[in-house]
């Protein structure tokens, strides 16, 4: 089990555009990504999270562990489905026009204070990437909450935080065309 030092704002690594990962993956990089998935699992186990003083997370991106490269880990259960991925060089190849947002707002392991407000994202996304967990190229069609999580992590690869997407003048401005999740 590997514990990561989570980089927090204003660490510059969180604001850089991360670099493509050269393929094929080194064994070291493959293991790092699997360790990130494991870290998320531990973070969601109340006892372990308390023991190691780590915040629960459903996703974690390489810049958050200080690596400015294009990969991120995902682990959560939703609607009786387990989302467990280690995505390398992910590309969003299509999106819905329809937007969506979490009514509870978002949080981030790299932003210690929660910043209230709606974060509008695409309701549906299709993502192509190499997945370390299944060890193959995947094309993921995601809708609703899973789509929100994968887009949150994808933003980290471009140095974008959820706080950047909150309306500064009216954080709870409602877009009536968007779906509230
Ligand atoms: O990237 C991160 O900092 C991990 C975020 C991902 C995330 C936050 C809000 C909405 C979508 C994705 C953390 O998982 S925030 C903590 C958390 C934990 C469990 C469930 C939801 C959010
Ligand atoms: Ni985040």
Task: Please tell me the number of the ligand nearest to residue 159's CA.
Answer: 2
- What are 129-179's pLDDT values in tens digits? 999 999 999 999 999 999 999 999 999 999 999 999 999 999 999 999 999
Whether this model's pTM surpasses 0.95: yes
- What are 89-101's pLDDT values in tens digits? 999 999 999 999 9
Surrounding residues of ion ligand 2, Cβ less than 5 A: 108
Known catalytic residue: 153?
A: yes
3-state secondary structure the chain: CCCCCCCCCCCHHHHCCCECCCCCCCHHHHHHHHHHHHHHHHHCCHHHHHHHCCCCCCEEEHHHHCCCECEEEEEEEECCEEEEEEEEEEEEEEECCCEEECCCCCCECCECCCCCCCCCEECEEEEEEEECCCCEEEEEEEECHHHHHHHHHHHHHCCCCHHHHCCCCCCCCCCCCCEEC
Q: What number does the ligand 1 atom closest to the CA of 58 have? A: 14
Q: What is the mean pLDDT of residues 63-72?
A: 98
Q: 1: pLDDT confidence band, cut at 50, 70 and 90? A: confident
C-alpha 59 – ligand 2 centre gap (Å): 7
């Amino acid at each position: 089990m590997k514990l990561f030092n989570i980089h927090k704002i204003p660490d510059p690594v969180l604001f850089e555009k991360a670099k493509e990962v050269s393929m094929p993956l080194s064994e070291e990089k493959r293991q790092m990504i699997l360790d990130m998935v494991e870290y998320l699992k531990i973070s969601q186990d109340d006892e372990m999270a308390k023991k190691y003083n780590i915040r629960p997370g459903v996703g974690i991106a390489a810049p958050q562990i200080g690596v400015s490269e294009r990969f991120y880990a995902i682990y959560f259960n939703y609607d009786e489905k387990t989302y467990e991925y280690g995505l390398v060089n992910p590309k969003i190849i299509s999106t819905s026009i329809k937007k969506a947002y979490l009514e509870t707002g978002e949080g981030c392991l790299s932003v210690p204070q929660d910043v209230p407000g709606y974060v509008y994202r695409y309701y549906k996304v299709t993502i192509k990437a190499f997945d370390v967990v299944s060890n193959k190229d995947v094309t993921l069609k995601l809708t609703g909450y899973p789509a929100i999580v994968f887009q949150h992590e994808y933003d980290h690869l471009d140095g974008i935080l959820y706080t950047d997407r909150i309306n500064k003048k009216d954080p709870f401005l409602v877009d009536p065309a968007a779906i509230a999740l």
